[in-house]
């Protein structure tokens, strides 16, 4: 029976390249000279740490980071902006942004609900942090992919493991 998996997986290589170029620009910009402005990628924890002297400076660092990530082709919807600023020693502040990896259960339920409500001849089941869609023929699965792209345009969903 043909099937495919719907996943939400960031391209960590592109994210790493975007953070690296943001670090280079922050190091060379005049308005960041002599400050504690920095960006750090924690790949294992899937986090980006922004450090600055004030919340305004962290917003400027975020703008640099977003521009570099978009130039690398990374969808910004992969990044959950941290809500609170942590105080570090002295005047330093830190914001921790999370990188989405895997479909959350609430989104997975919305995806399966959208597929069931579409009256397509496919079934969707949640399997961990992915959603598997199965159907009798390839055309139905392609219609399901088109439906998901239309229903969830703000989510950077990927379709993988397409099997006949």
Tell me how far apart the alpha carbons of residues 161 and 21 are, in angstroms, rounded to a whole number.
Answer: 32
Triad 29, 33, 34: Cα angle to 5°: 165
For the chain, residues classed under CATH 3.30.70.860 are: 3-9+102-163
For the chain, residues classed under CATH 3.30.70.990 are: 12-99
Strands 158-163 vs 79-80: parallel, antiparallel or unpaired: unpaired
CATH number given to 12-99: 3.30.70.990
Q: How many CA atoms lie within 13 A of 117 on its CB side?
A: 9
Whether the CB-CB separation of 52 and 36 falls below 8 Å is answered with yes
Is the whole model's pTM more than 0.85, yes or no? no
Domain 3-9+102-163 has CATH 1.10.1530.10: no
Closest CA to 156 of 77, 71, 81: 77
pLDDT in tens, the chain (164 residues): 889 999 988 889 999 999 999 999 999 999 888 889 999 999 899 999 999 998 899 999 999 999 999 999 888 888 888 888 888 888 899 999 999 888 888 989 999 999 999 888 999 999 988 999 999 988 999 999 999 999 988 888 888 888 87
From residue 139, alpha-carbon distances to 5, 142, 143 in Å are 16, 5, 6
């Amino acid at each position: 029976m043909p099937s495919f998996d719907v996943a939400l997986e960031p391209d960590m290589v592109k994210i790493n390249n975007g953070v690296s170029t943001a670090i280079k620009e922050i190091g060379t910009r005049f308005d960041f000279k002599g400050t504690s402005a920095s960006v750090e990628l924690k790949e294992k924890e899937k986090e980006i740490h922004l450090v600055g002297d004030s919340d305004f400076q962290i917003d400027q660092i975020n703008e640099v980071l977003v521009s570099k990530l978009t130039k690398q082709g990374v969808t910004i919807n992969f990044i959950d902006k941290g809500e609170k600023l942590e105080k570090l020693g002295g005047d330093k502040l830190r914001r921790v942004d999370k990188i989405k990896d895997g479909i959350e259960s609430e989104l997975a339920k919305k995806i399966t609900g959208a597929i069931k409500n579409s009256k397509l001849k496919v079934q969707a089941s949640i399997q961990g942090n992915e959603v598997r869609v199965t159907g009798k023929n390839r055309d139905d699965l392609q219609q399901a992919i088109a439906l998901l792209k239309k229903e969830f345009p703000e989510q950077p969903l990927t379709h993988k493991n397409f099997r006949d």
